[in-house]
Amino acid sequence: DFAESKFTLYFLAYCHEQLPETREEKNKYIFSREAVLELTHNWGTQDDPNFQYHNGNKDPRGFGHIAISVDNIEAACARFEKCGVNFIKKLQDGKMNNIAFISDPDGYWVEIVACGVD
């Protein structure tokens, strides 16, 4: 937490070992990872009754989506399907059979690609 600036950072990454204990060691570890997604929560929006999310995939367009790569895209999509994840585009839909799009609970799109696919 950064109380003086009223925001909290969350980092999503594959961690192969125990996280270090100190903040300095954690920062060094996090920013040396092969892939990290940083999410920022700016305090206050949860208390604003008029606050609305805009996911960028509807007009006016803005931020579109993030992408994650997986070792086995067919197995990943099968697991998403089994878990009831909402698909925007399944592998077999359209001309591009090497990508899929799912959405998170807030409607943000997440592109699923196979490792090594351009």
SS (H, E, C) 65-85: EEEEEECCHHHHHHHHHHCCC
Candidates 4, 21, 81, 111; catalytic one: 111
Burial of 112 (0-12, 13-18, 19+ CB in 10 A): buried
Cα gap 78→83, rounded to integer Å:
9
111 is catalytic: yes
Active site residue ranges: 111
